[in-house]
Amino acid sequence: MRLPERTGDQLRIGVAVTVPEPWSGALRAARARYGDPLADFIPPHITLLGPTVVEPGDVDEIEAHLARAAAEHVPFRVRLQGSGTFRPVSPVVFVPLVEGAQGCAALERSVRSGVLHQEVRFAYHPHVTVAHEVPDAQLDAAEAGVAGFVAEFVVTAFHSYLHGDDGVWRPVQDFALDGQRDGVDPTAAAGRADGADAEVVRPT
């Protein structure tokens, strides 16, 4: 995966919705099983802002921006189900969102604004990657192997990530979705936040 270059003390950051357990572990294991070398370096996530290089002096402003962005939104439910691919445009297999895509798109617009505004090459398409830039046979196996995957959880926050010198992306700070929805309990409307009411199908 090609990452933006950084120099000196610049930081490489990202922003994402982190997939919670137990689904995170299942997706990470699937990514490793299909031969993706990044399985141990990238936690399963739904990208809101791709890898971005920033100056250390801008971190406080960025964190304030992300807190304001989170405060504009309420928790919502995400349902991951099945498999998809960006082939032939890009050698990627992923689990798509069959519910919650609009909520993620709204978060992405808020995050990718202000101090973090940037142009993007492709239209935003929320997903969770399970194989990237591996041989076609492994992409085929991944697409078939996760076709029965189902997971459901409530998004109550998103995370900023920092790319370490060891190549690992690590969550740094969580930003709670603190917006208010009049007359509606967002947790009740979206299902239990601990995921106890969700179905889990582990990839085979």
- What pLDDT score does 181 carry? 63
According to DSSP, residue 198 is labeled: S
Q: Give the pLDDT confidence score for residue 169 in this predicted structure.
A: 97
Helices (H) and strands (E) in the chain, counts: 5, 9
Cα angle value 86/43/90 (rounded, 5°): 15
Other C-beta atoms closer than 10 Å to the C-beta of 88 total 6
State whether residue 46 is helix, strand or coil: strand
Residue 185 lies in a domain: no
CATH code (residue 60): 3.90.1140.10
Q: Using one digit for the tens of pLDDT, what is the confidence trace for 7-36? A: 899 999 999 999 999 999 999 999 999 999
Are 131 and 34 a contacting pair, CB within 8 Å?
yes
> Which residues are within 8 A (CB) of 11 and not within 5 positions of it... i.e. 6 or more apart?
53, 54, 55, 56, 59, 162, 163
Give a yes or no: residue 200 inside a domain. no
- Note whether residue 5 is domain-resident: no
Mean pLDDT value across residues 193-200: 34
- 53 found inside a domain: yes
Q: Which helix (H) or strand (E) holds 187?
A: helix 186-190
Q: Is the pLDDT of residue 197 over 70?
A: no
pLDDT digits (tens, 9 = 90+) for 35-62: 999 999 999 999 999 999 999 999 999 9
Query: Residue 198's pLDDT is what?
Result: 34
Tell me whether residue 187 is in a domain: no
Structure confidence at residue 168 (pLDDT): 97
DSSP 108-147: HHHHSSGGG----SS----EEEEEES--HHHHHHHHHHTT
Does residue 107 form part of some domain? yes
Tell me: the pLDDT tens digits for 60-110?
999 999 999 999 999 999 999 999 999 998 999 999 999 999 999 999 999
pLDDT digit string, tens, across residues 141-195:
999 999 999 999 999 999 999 999 999 999 999 999 998 765 444 444 443 333 3
User: Domains in the chain: how many in total?
Assistant: 1
The predicted pLDDT at position 121 comes to 84
Q: Which domain holds residue 76?
A: 11-178
Query: What average pLDDT does the chain have?
Result: 89
Q: Give the pLDDT of residue 3.
A: 87
Q: Is residue 42 part of a domain?
A: yes
- 156 within domain boundaries: yes
69, 110 in Cβ contact below 8 A?
yes
